[in-house]
Amino acid sequence: MMKQRHRADDLERRRWQNPEAIMTAIGIHAGMTFIDAGCGEGYFALPAARKVGTNGKVFAFDIDADAISILKGHAADEGLTNLSAEVGTAEESQPCRRCADFVFFGINLHDFANPMKAITNAKVMLKSSGRLIDLDWKAIPMDFGPPAGKRFPEDKARDLIAAAGLRILSVQDAGPWHYLIIAGL
């Protein structure tokens, strides 16, 4: 029953956010390494694993052990052997150093205990050509998502990322409710 509920939640979310389209928009393709920091149950990690294929790798971590268990189950059901999921924080987890084409924060930068430390930790994992991706909530009124006071407006996220020593490459809309920041070393 729990698995069905989670799949139903994903279907509802797909009405306003398409993870495959986001993966395509950021340029992920076969053979790449993708790190999903704060992955939850794998809403972005699973499509990323499909995109990078058998020659690529997805590392996913989250502080919620139940979410990681669910993600591992979904990956096993799909035969995605290129996805590794572990319990851990964005501030401390480093499944690799200088290996990632992408480190991805999927609508969660505002949730981390120390967002600046999460960003600086992401830098350690990025290849010299790698990209930090921050997909997050716009600071506009809406009936769902985190409370407005908890969200990071685009300028706050952009300033944090730049303060961590990353170059902002682009800031763009990612649907009606989200923005997407792409940054590099």
Q: Tell me: the pLDDT tens digits for 115-130?
A: 999 999 999 999 999 9
- E-strand stretches of the chain: 33-37, 57-62, 83-87, 100-106, 126-137, 167-173, 178-184
Model pTM score: 0.92
User: Does residue 86 surpass a pLDDT of 70?
Assistant: yes
More confidently predicted of 10 and 66? 66
Q: What is the pLDDT of residue 4?
A: 45
Q: Which band of pLDDT confidence, cut at 50, 70 and 90, is reported for residue 67?
A: very high
Give the tokens for residue 143.
Answer: 């009936």
Q: What is the pLDDT of residue 143?
A: 86
Dist. CA 105–CA 161, nearest whole Å: 12
Dist. CA 64–CA 87, nearest whole Å: 7
Could you tell me which of 3, 2, 57, 7 has the C-alpha nearest to residue 32? 57
Q: Which band of pLDDT confidence, cut at 50, 70 and 90, is reported for residue 49?
A: very high
What's the whole-number mean pLDDT along residues 98-102? Answer: 98
Dist. CA 62–CA 39, nearest whole Å: 5
What is the domain count for the chain?
A: 1
For the chain, the average pLDDT equals 92
User: Does residue 108 surpass a pLDDT of 60?
Assistant: yes
Could you tell me which of 104, 97, 43, 109 has the C-alpha nearest to residue 74? 43
Contacts from 44-47 at CB under 8 Å and sequence distance 24+?
Answer: 44/19, 44/104, 44/106, 45/71, 45/83, 45/85, 46/19, 46/71, 46/74, 46/75, 46/78, 46/80, 46/83, 47/19, 47/20, 47/23
- Say if CB 111 and CB 134 are below 8 A apart: no
Q: Which band of pLDDT confidence, cut at 50, 70 and 90, is reported for residue 149?
A: confident
What's the whole-number mean pLDDT along residues 90-115? Answer: 96
User: Does residue 6 surpass a pLDDT of 60?
Assistant: no
User: Does residue 159 surpass a pLDDT of 80?
Assistant: yes
Q: What is the pLDDT of residue 88?
A: 98
User: Does residue 150 surpass a pLDDT of 90?
Assistant: no
Could you tell me which of 168, 167, 173, 153 has the C-alpha nearest to residue 109? 153
What's the whole-number mean pLDDT along residues 32-45? Answer: 97
Domain containing residue 33: 2-184
CATH code of the domain covering residue 159: 3.40.50.150
